[in-house]
Structure 1
């Protein structure tokens, strides 16, 4: 009994001493290694950094609206169109008047619309041809976005418009095009005939409509 007990205590003591030494070694290693474990720990999330926004290209704002003033003349350098402007009202059937076809190089402005430069869509009309010659707006369909149209006004100012789009619209769909609809800023509509000539009706089947916005006054 005594021999077995003494041997058991001695074995336990040796095992305890070995375990203690092993623990001290682990502590020493951890201390020397800075206390880090296996290289699997993720670094703390990076703090958000304020980034300056990208500089934005300056947008070209539409020109400020002008007071009412009758237009005097129109000039479209790209298509060589230059004309004085005569006032146009409504026909008995409530269609918009056009300049006399016998003077196809004469353009006119619609007096029931805003004057060019006022807020809203000013309207200028002209013939594509007439009296066996080319009209003031013969080349109107050649205009494209970015082209300029200048209209001199009675008050001495000149309203400069920039074309935004050009549409060819069947006359039967003209009302749905919204040519005369209100706009938030000063705009311009140039209107002439286009498309196929219907000999039975003695007229063209389409309209060419140029949309433009005021960019300088």
Structure 2
């Protein structure tokens, strides 16, 4: 009697796939954790010699996949995505508008208030630095509505990668960045400065990174244009180790006022 050949199980029905899917869902669904206390456990670089000393950390994000600015210049024609130079609209269509020039970086002035209107966040800002282990500090746990601005990096609107950090929750309840992971790409983040000007950033993307595999270069790497990272806790929570992940919002400067 000839034995029947055993058919190979499809990849999506394997035990390894089911375990991986369960792990991912657990991390995502656990973002309604308990408390976010202490430092965020990441090392950030000291401020460079100045805005002129920075270099790109990665290629500029595109707007097509939600990882960058909206791309209004798609379409044929000249270099700006509209009609070829010297020609008017064709076939009854109006020419595409020219892309808006990026705003000029602002001089140094400390942050005083951070607003994310879509989340109802309007919080005062204090300066934070690095501890003895070069870990990024946070606002005091007994002041959960404060946002910390890393003073060793760029000021709001300055060239380079600025960093803001805040608690997700504390022993007394929700904190300033409890809903940070819900901000959508394209939404503004406004940072008012001591000189009265406001740097307006636009959200490019939101990511959740495991603390044990935190991509320092992607998050903290320097950039030629003014960019902002807003960081809080995320993932699973235990009393012994705290939260397992960080929520990171990536944004870039789109206007000043």
Give the 3-state SS of the residue equivalent to 1:141 in structure 2.
helix
TM-score, structure 2 as length reference: 0.61
Deviation at 1:159, TM superposition (A): 0.6
Matched position secondary structure for 2:126: strand
Superposed displacement of residue 88, structure 1: 0.2
Secondary structure at 1:179 match in 2? helix
Counterpart Cα distance in 2 of 1:125 and 1:65 = 22
Q: Distance in 2 between matches of 1:177 and 1:166?
A: 16
- Name the residue aligned to 1:205: 244
Question: In the alignment, is residue 103 of structure 1 matched against residue 143 of structure 2?
Answer: yes
Mapping 1:149-168, distance limit 5 Å:
149-168=189-208
| Residue pair 1:63, 1:186 contacting (<8 A) in 2 also | no
Structure number having the greater strand percentage: 1
Tell me by how many angstroms 1:71 deviates.
0.7
| Structure (1 or 2) with the larger CA radius of gyration | 1
Q: Aligned in 2, Cα 1:81/1:185: closer, same or farther, shift over 3 Å? A: same
**1:169–1:177 CA contact under 8 A, matched in 2:** no
Deviations 1:83-132 (A, max 9, x none): 11111011111101111112111111000110010000111100000122
Q: CA deviation at 1:196?
A: 1.2
Q: Distance in 1 between matches of 2:178 and 2:101?
A: 31
Say yes or no: does 1:180 pair with 2:217: no
Q: Quote the RMSD (CA, aligned, Å).
A: 1.5
| SS of residue matched to 2:143 | coil
| 5+ long unaligned stretches in structure 1 | 1-51
Q: How big is each residue's C-alpha offset from its partner over 1:27-65, in whole Å with a ceiling of 9 and x where there is no partner?
A: xxxxxxxxxxxxxxxxxxxxxxxxx63844433443210
TM-score (norm 1): 0.72
Which residue of the partner structure matches residue 114 of structure 1?
A: 154
Aligned length: 165
2:219 is paired with a residue whose SS is coil
1:169 to 189, 193, 209: 209
How far is 1:199 from its partner?
Answer: 2.8
Give me the whole-angstrom Cα distance separating, in 2, the residues matched to 1:143 and 1:63.
23
SS of the residue corresponding to residue 220 of structure 2 reads coil
